[in-house]
Amino acid sequence: MIKVIQIKSEIGSTKRQKRTLEALGIKKMHNPVELEETPQVLGMVHKVQHLVKVEKN
């Protein structure tokens, strides 16, 4: 399991990056979301790595 936290605003990012944050289940900044560490999730996190912080549990 990994914990994904949005640390930077999505304002100014592309629509694709905004949809990726939505697909990860992130609704608000600084609100942690716990996800399974699958290749699909890691790929999405990599695409928005400049907007999020990742912690391993």
Quote the CA–CA distance of 30 and 49 in Å, as a whole number. 15
Rg of the chain over Cα atoms, rounded to whole angstroms, equals 10
Task: Specify the amino acid at residue 19.
Answer: R
In 3-state terms, what secondary structure has residue 1?
coil
| 16 backbone φψ class: left, alpha, beta (φ>0; ψ -120 to 50) | alpha
Q: pLDDT confidence of 53, banded at 50, 70, 90?
A: very high
Q: What is the pLDDT of residues 2-46, one digit of tens each?
A: 999 999 999 999 999 999 999 999 999 999 999 999 999 999 999
- Position 57 scores a pLDDT of 82
Structure tokens at 40: 């699909």
pLDDT the model gives residue 9: 96
Q: Which domains does the chain have, with CATH numbers?
A: 2-56 (3.30.1390.20)
**Is the full-model pTM beyond 0.85?**
yes
